Amino acid sequence: MRKNFWGKSALKNRMVFLSLLVIISLFSLPTHAEKEESHSSVITDGFSHEELKRGERFFKGLLPFERKAESCVSCHNILPVDTLNWNPSAMDIALKYAATDFAAFEQVVMQPTGKKMSEVHQLFDISNNDLKLVKGYLDEMAHEGPQPEKTNIVWLIGLISLILVVLWASTELLLIRKVKPRIITVTVLLGAFIWLTNMLYHEAVDLGRQEAYAPLQPIKFSHEVHAGLNQTDCFYCHSTAEYSKSAGIPSVNVCMNCHLIVREGTNSGKFEIDKIYHAFENNIPIEWVRVHNLPDHVFFSHAQHVGAGKLDCAECHGPVEEMDVLTQHADLSMGWCLDCHKTRKVQFIENDYYATYKEFHDQITSGMIDSVTVEQIGGTDCMKCHY
């Protein structure tokens, strides 16, 4: 039946061809994130590919069959985990020992010194050769770097199905015209199109705004241990919150005030606290990953809220003293700021900050009004929050 691809009746063919192109390009999307497989029998650091595989199997507990201790991976996770794992991850260890020789590695694994380390590593009965292969495997891991994140497959399938439905409905509507009550096709087309737009819109918005965001930090610093269990005041570490725009992140020196003495943690042993020493002794800052990120066009100051407004940290940051991993509590949207500003009463009396609002003061003393909201002092003016 088919005459000529670009012929008169071939519009349908072209549509099919185009849709195929779209689908193929969609499938090629996630492959960008996939890691290049560069396996060959090339010998790395004196180990053959087979030997490295054996090291990996040992680490994962698949070898040998008759072992007494737990596998390394049951404590040192290879893949990222959602909950906090206090033990160093496999990558943590790999990076720390990548540049050291085997003797140092063997020493630390087989002859543990710290309290925690003696508890967890004491049962080890590993042949020198096996441990060498484990080190080889870890070195390779350090060399290859972290595994990239995979695209969410369910989301992707949903996206592709919706695109297919939209394509089918529009071809049906314009070319095939078999389904008689056209309202059916139109409804399907509209529905799928709206859903698709919605999906893409949310994806775009989420790129910038992330509630419950908790990135991996360079040290497993726990607010529960410090602000909760040990009751250290927030201002001890975030000392500028009251009078400056930024609350501030403590420097290594602040950690050293206590960790000069506290050298081992109940949960993490020495590994994490050692990182503080490493930073201190080499004079390099700890690169904390920012959790809260307002867009550049928004102005926010802690001094206005903590200093003048006398707000508690928890109103915006939630129960921080219960968090092992610091997590963003509010969504930091414009609606969130405005909701509070519209209803919140400012602490007007006995607050020097508001001494200039004479009119409101007079109205309060004369009993005309009993309180002033943030909105009334201009808290919803665009220019207050936007540059």
Q: In the set 91, 167, 189, 219, which binds ligand HEC (CB under 6 A)?
A: 219
Contact between 139 and 57 (Cβ < 8 Å): no
Asked if 374 is part of the footprint of ligand HEC (rule: CB under 6 A), the reply reads yes
209 Cβ contact list (under 8 Å, min separation 6): 331, 332, 333
- Residue whose CB is less far from ligand HEC, 93 or 141: 93
Question: 258 is written with which tokens?
Answer: 């206590």
Q: In the set 166, 169, 192, 341, which binds ligand HEC (CB under 6 A)?
A: 341
C-alpha–C-alpha distance, residues 277 and 274, integer Å: 5
Q: How far is the CB of 149 from ligand HEC (least distance, A)?
A: 20
Which 33-62 residues touch ligand HEC, going by CB under 6 A? none
Asked if 132 is part of the footprint of ligand HEC (rule: CB under 6 A), the reply reads no
Contact between 313 and 306 (Cβ < 8 Å): yes
Asked if 224 is part of the footprint of ligand HEC (rule: CB under 6 A), the reply reads no
Asked if 257 is part of the footprint of ligand HEC (rule: CB under 6 A), the reply reads yes
Q: How far is the CB of 46 from ligand HEC (least distance, A)?
A: 18
C-alpha–C-alpha distance, residues 104 and 274, integer Å: 16
Q: How far is the CB of 284 from ligand HEC (least distance, A)?
A: 13
Per rule CB under 6 A, count of chain residues that contact ligand HEC: 103
Asked if 87 is part of the footprint of ligand HEC (rule: CB under 6 A), the reply reads yes
Q: In the set 169, 237, 360, 372, which binds ligand HEC (CB under 6 A)?
A: 237
Q: How far is the CB of 238 from ligand HEC (least distance, A)?
A: 4
The single residue listed with the structure tokens 């707000």 is 311
Q: How far is the CB of 7 from ligand HEC (least distance, A)?
A: 49
Q: How far is the CB of 175 from ligand HEC (least distance, A)?
A: 40
Q: In the set 10, 78, 95, 117, which binds ligand HEC (CB under 6 A)?
A: 117
Residue from 172, 160, 257, 159 nearest 203 by CA = 159
The single residue listed with the structure tokens 């990558």 is 91
223 Cβ contact list (under 8 Å, min separation 6): 320, 321, 322, 323, 324, 326
Provide the 10 A C-beta neighbour count for residue 162.
19
Which 268-287 residues touch ligand HEC, going by CB under 6 A? 268-273, 276
Asked if 364 is part of the footprint of ligand HEC (rule: CB under 6 A), the reply reads no
Asked if 292 is part of the footprint of ligand HEC (rule: CB under 6 A), the reply reads yes
Q: In the set 52, 313, 360, 372, which binds ligand HEC (CB under 6 A)?
A: 313
Q: In the set 54, 76, 89, 141, which binds ligand HEC (CB under 6 A)?
A: 76
Q: In the set 27, 155, 236, 243, which binds ligand HEC (CB under 6 A)?
A: 236
Which 156-195 residues touch ligand HEC, going by CB under 6 A? none
C-alpha–C-alpha distance, residues 376 and 379, integer Å: 7
Contact between 115 and 264 (Cβ < 8 Å): yes
Provide the 10 A C-beta neighbour count for residue 61.
14
Provide the 10 A C-beta neighbour count for residue 54.
20
185 Cβ contact list (under 8 Å, min separation 6): 169, 172, 173, 179
